[in-house]
Chains A and B, each alone.
Chain A
């Protein structure tokens, strides 16, 4: 997180603590918005301490203000730390050139460059760590995991649930019904269902769920082996899963147990193979029609 966004988030959180939620909700940037909300959640636990910590000194410190006046220095420092992406992402071409030139100079003797600037790295890093922790603390996935494990032990397999929940095959049919009916979760809408070929003999089905009522999202992943690609169907829980699962079956050959109409949907019924598997070979002819081979790469 750059010092600028950090500053913005702190300002927003302070505003929100005073009751002005709009300024957070109106943010353009989704990433920034969620970070701000996460920071706010943490701050709300002890608002007074948060206010005391930040409002007095009005973070960021003097150093960073200096950097604002001199963007080249700040970029060079980042470059020295190995973060070249930010420099490459500079929109102004002239500035980018200057930064790169300065970086080359600085690299000859990075230590003295840093000394000159007098960077208080330690302080910055601790703040960053704090923020990241908050992100993980208040995620919907954590809540689902807690609730699900109470009801169905061993149902969630992954420890780090920041992005998705890896669900055990056996508990999926009962868990899916639970996710839809439980009042506090209420995932009434299956947004997207798709399959993946992970290689190494593994296939994966992914479910993107959304709750219209609570407006939260989650992603469920289920892994099966290619030898026995069978997953319980959720067609009766979310009706759209009927067609989504047929498509996944059509493209990747994952068989959904309990589906009432497991046929191919986009390809003809007598098509051979599963096109989206990585080891797929196109059949040579189909009812006497020669199928052109797909080109390797692109000319």
Chain B
């Protein structure tokens, strides 16, 4: 008896669909419930960020980076200013570095909260989503307190920050951390060990390590596949080498290493590590230091190019900046981590049930703004 194959049907998921996390179209070839091929069509949010950058000055690029990954704008700013400061050889003072790390790690928590909540939502768990958004709000409140914006901050500038920390920020952050730390265990009970959730995610969409590397998948998705690779440790930028934290790696706790459940759980553990970093950074933050101290009067980097990567919540965020000595970038390329993560979907999700494809897509935690740029 051979395998009986039915007629294949082409199904479009999206562009407007809650499970696509934005405006993404997946053209799916199905044989009954089984998916045999997935072709992502992207570009619905394309604004040609890179073309815009060639027409504005280096400072004016910053708001554009905000709008690429709108769920983790702080880290998008961070990557750009790190690259620019390395190109221009600017050294910022310790207070600025500490504030940046605090902001980036809070942003990582906020981004993971939304990513995890939406993942739960994708496979039918509605309650955790509300819990996570509730706590994310408190982080956004902290950001609002700092720079007035809740989503698109334009907070980190080349050579400094737009504002110093407001009065009471440190106390509020400590208060939030004390409140939030026990909540993580609540999530763990609610979702991570939830039987229904485990059935939907364990052993589903396994991404082997070599596939992940070949597809350029980075960040939590790569670490879930069992590779200990984090730019904060492996190629430290800013002051990350001063802090003591661990890199959570996928262990295959409920199934195989690199399955959806691992990708979920690595993010949960990463939030704990981020809390550790924020606490250390707040404790060691110097009291004095002008955040505008090293702001250059005019930004004209020397002729040359730089490729610098930083660890955003979604993986290696790289900026390739080519300068021709003027105040406008000659060419600026953003290497987007979600772009590479989405490209792997056909490889790991083909052969699964249609409902699993959505679980796999959710577990990759993509943001379309950053993919389309």
Contact = CB atoms under 8 A, between A and B. Distances in A.
Interface string B72-108: 0000000000000010011101000000000000000
A244 B371 CA distance: 12
A275 B331 CA distance: 12
Interface string B317-346: 010101000000001010100011001100
A238 B237 CA distance: 27
Nearest to A215: B234
Interface in B41-71: 42-43, 46, 48, 50-51, 54-57, 60
B57 A192 contact: no
Interface in B325-371: 331, 333, 335, 339-340, 343-344, 347
Nearest to B339: A243
B213 A191 contact: no
A26 interface: yes
A192 B60 contact: no
A32 to B, nearest CB: 11
A219 B307 contact: yes
A196 B305 CA distance: 12
A157 B216 CA distance: 28
A169 B305 CA distance: 22
Contact of A28 (B93, B239, B293): B239
A239 B211 CA distance: 8
A91 interface: yes
B43 A240 contact: no
Of B46, B55, B216, B372, which is in contact with the most chain A CB atoms at under 10 Å from its CB?
B216
A117 B237 CA distance: 39
A206 interface: yes
Contacts of B294: 91
Given A91-B293, A192-B335, A240 B55 contact: no
Nearest to A196: B331
Nearest to A294: B55
B316 interface: yes
A239 B318 CA distance: 18
Contact of B214 (A31, A91, A239, A244): A239
A116 to B, nearest CB: 30
B48 A239 contact: no
A14 interface: no
Contacts of B54: 276
B333 to A, nearest CB: 4
B307 A191 contact: yes
Contacts of B372: 266
What does DSSP make chain A's interface, helix, strand, loop or mixed? Answer: loop
A89 B297 CA distance: 10
B112 interface: no
Nearest to B309: A191
A292 interface: no
Interface string A186-229: 00111110101100000000101000100100010000000000
A295 B55 contact: yes
Contacts of B333: 192, 194
Interface in B193-243: 210-211, 213-216, 227, 229, 234, 236-237, 239, 241-242
B46 A243 contact: no
A130 to B, nearest CB: 22
B241 A28 contact: yes
Contacts of A276: 50-51, 54, 331
B213 A188 contact: yes
A260 B241 CA distance: 43
Given A297-B55, A298-B56, A208 B93 contact: no
Contact of A239 (B57, B215, B307, B373): B215
A191 to B, nearest CB: 6
Contact of A212 (B46, B55, B90, B229): B229
B46 A298 contact: no
Nearest to B209: A212
A86 to B, nearest CB: 10
A283 B285 CA distance: 52
A87 interface: no
A30 B86 contact: yes
A240 B50 contact: no
B216 A240 contact: yes
The CB with the most chain B CB atoms within 10 A, among A163, A208, A240, A298, is that of A240
A134 interface: no
A45 B50 CA distance: 46
B318 A208 contact: yes
B235 to A, nearest CB: 8
A191 B333 CA distance: 12
A298 B307 contact: no
Contacts of B57: 298
A166 interface: no
A268 B293 CA distance: 46
Contact of A265 (B42, B60, B216): B42
Contacts of A89: 90
Contact of A189 (B50, B213, B239): B213
B320 A208 contact: yes
Given A194-B333, A294-B55, 6 more contacts: A30-B86, A191-B216, A212-B227, A275-B51, A298-B56, A298-B57
Nearest 5 CB-CB pairs, A to B? A240-B216, A266-B43, A192-B335, A194-B333, A239-B214
17 contacts: A28-B236, A28-B242, A30-B86, A30-B237, A89-B90, A91-B93, A188-B213, A191-B309, A191-B335, A192-B318, A192-B333, A194-B335, A212-B213, A239-B214, A239-B344, A244-B216, A264-B43
Interface of A: 26, 28-31, 89, 91, 163, 188-192, 194, 196-197, 206, 208, 212, 215, 219, 238-240, 242-244, 251, 264-268, 275-276, 294-295, 297-298
